[in-house]
Structure 1
C-alpha cells in the first residue's frame, strides 16, 4: 500500500488510431496537461485491444493512482473493465467519432479540454461516482459497460458488417443495414425484469445505463447513470416501413412515443433470444442469454 502522500502514478491508455486518427496530433498535448499536475504519468504500451486491456488491469493491480483512457468509445470501454468497482479514479478523454459515454456524462467533448478538466480534478482530488452496468453470460464471464447494450437490429447489422470484406469503411455498415432491413422480422425474446418474466416479439432491444449509442442516437432516452437502474427499450412487431420511419426519431429520443415501442426500468435485466450476439458500448460482446445488473457508483470518475 502506498502512503497517502504518494497516490501512485497516472496510467494513460492512448489510442492514436481512434476516430481514424483525426485527434492523433492532440495526444502530446493531452500528456502535457496530465504531467502539469506534477504526478508521475505512465503511458501504457499496447498494440492491440487485448494488450490494452491487460496493460490497464496490470496498472490498476500494481497501484496506479488513476487510469486515463484517450480514444473512442471502444478505448474507454477497455479502461472501464480495469477500474470498475475498484475505486481507482478514471479519466475519459474523447478522441473517437461517437464519444457517446463521455458526452452523456457531461464531460468535455474534445481531447484537450477533457485533459485540462482531468488535470484539474487530479490536482483538486475531485471525483464523482456514476453507475455502470455489469453483464454476465451463461458461462459466468463478466463484462462492464457504461452506455448501451444492443441486442436487436443494430447488433445484427454489426455482426453482418463485421463479416463483410467489402466495401471498406463506413459504407460497409450502409450495405449491412440495407441487407438486414430486407430480412427484418420480429424475433422471440424473453425479458426478465427484477424477476418478472415477459415474452415478446421484437426487432429492436436495447438496455441502457446512459441514453446514447452510435454517435448521438438517443436509443434509451430516459437512462440516468446515477439512479441505480437500467432502462430498456423494446421495438416490437415493427414492419420494415414502420421501422424505417421511426429510425430518424431515435436521434431525438422521440421514438419511444410509437405505440409499438415499449419502455421498462429495472435493476436487473435477463435477456434471452436465439442467434443474437450482443454489442455493448459499440463493441462485440456475449451471445445471449445474458444478465445485466446495475452497479450503482461502480465508476469513480475524475471530474
Structure 2
C-alpha cells in the first residue's frame, strides 16, 4: 500500500449483516477523493488489528473502519497516537463512537464526509482513552470502558454458547441481576482517593455505550478529560428502574449516582474484567489516561 491508498477495515457481519450489500457503494464514495481504495483482508478480530497495523506501517493516506464499535476499536489500536487520518463509516448495531464524535450516522454520508475531508486536507483531533494493565500492555478506546455491572454482564454473555444474538445478552442480564452484589472498588482520580463500594462504574471520552445508552451524558471527546460515573450499592429493583434512564442520561440526577472528571483514573476491584467499546480488555487493575487529540478523525 502507498500514500495514495485508503485502507478499509470492514466487518461484513456488523449490524447483524444488514449493511452487507452497502460496501461497494461505500468504496465508491470513498473513491471520489481521487485515492485508491483497498479492502483489508481480515476474518477475525486479531487479523483485523494486525491488518490495520500493517496498513498504517506501510504509510496509507487513511484508515477507514466500516462497522460498529468493535471494528472501530480494532482500527484505533493502529492509528492511536499516529499521524494517519482515521475515518468511520458506522454500520454496526452500536455506533457509539460515531455518535459521540459527530460522524454522520448514515453510512453513505459518512463515507462522503471522509472523502471530502481527505480532498480538503481537513481533520478533527479527538481524544482517546489509553488503558494500561499491570502487565504493561496498552489498549486504546474511543467511547466508554465499563467496569461494573455491565462489564460483568458482558463477561457472562461471552461465556454463554446459547442462545445467539441479542437474546443471549438479555439472559446474561437476568442471571447477573439475580447475583447482584456491591463490589469494593479502589478508585483514584488524578491522585485523589475516591474509593467506594458500588455496582456500576463507567469511564469514557464519549457519552454513550451499548448502542445509545448515555451513561456519561455531556462527555466531550475534545476536552482532554475522562468522564467517570459510579453508582452506590442498590437493590435489584432500583438498578432495573435506573437502567432505562440511561437512554436520556437522567440517571446522573439520582442521589446514588456520582460523576467526576479526571485526566487519569486508576481502578481496581477483585474478579472484574473491563470492557471498552464493548470489547474485552482484560482484568482490573488498570490505569486509564485521557490522551488529548490522539486521533485525526475525518468527518
Structure 1 residue 61: Cα displacement: 0.6
1:222 corresponds in structure 2 to: 218
- Residue deviations 1:67-110, cap 9 Å, x none? 01101110011111100010110000001011011011111112
1:98 corresponds in structure 2 to: 94
Stretches of 4+ aligned residues off by more than 2 angstroms: none
1:292 corresponds in structure 2 to: 288
* Aligned counterparts of 2:18 and 2:238: Cα–Cα separation in 1: 36
- Residue deviations 1:38-72, cap 9 Å, x none? 11222111111111100100110111111011011
2:113 corresponds in structure 1 to: 117
Query: Which of 264, 274, 283 is matched with 2:260 structurally?
Result: 264
* Aligned counterparts of 1:117 and 1:231: Cα–Cα separation in 2: 28
TM-score (norm 2): 0.98
| Aligned residue runs from structure 1 range 108-187, under 5 A | 108-187=104-183
* Aligned counterparts of 1:37 and 1:220: Cα–Cα separation in 2: 35
* Aligned counterparts of 2:174 and 2:11: Cα–Cα separation in 1: 31
Structure 1 residue 36: Cα displacement: 2.0
Q: Do structure 1's residue 192 and structure 2's residue 188 form an aligned pair?
A: yes
* Aligned counterparts of 2:165 and 2:219: Cα–Cα separation in 1: 30
* Aligned counterparts of 1:94 and 1:258: Cα–Cα separation in 2: 32
1:31 corresponds in structure 2 to: 27
2:52 corresponds in structure 1 to: 56
1:3 corresponds in structure 2 to: none
Query: Which of 234, 238, 254 is matched with 2:234 structurally?
Result: 238
Query: Which of 272, 276, 287 is matched with 2:272 structurally?
Result: 276
Runs of 5+ consecutive residues of structure 2 not aligned to the other structure: none
Structure 1 residue 8: Cα displacement: 3.4
Structure 1 residue 7: Cα displacement: 4.1
* Aligned counterparts of 2:135 and 2:181: Cα–Cα separation in 1: 29
* Aligned counterparts of 2:276 and 2:132: Cα–Cα separation in 1: 12
Runs of 5+ consecutive residues of structure 1 not aligned to the other structure: 1-5
* Aligned counterparts of 1:8 and 1:275: Cα–Cα separation in 2: 47
* Aligned counterparts of 2:35 and 2:213: Cα–Cα separation in 1: 37
* Aligned counterparts of 2:157 and 2:11: Cα–Cα separation in 1: 22
Query: Which of 80, 86, 96 is matched with 2:76 structurally?
Result: 80
* Aligned counterparts of 2:239 and 2:41: Cα–Cα separation in 1: 44
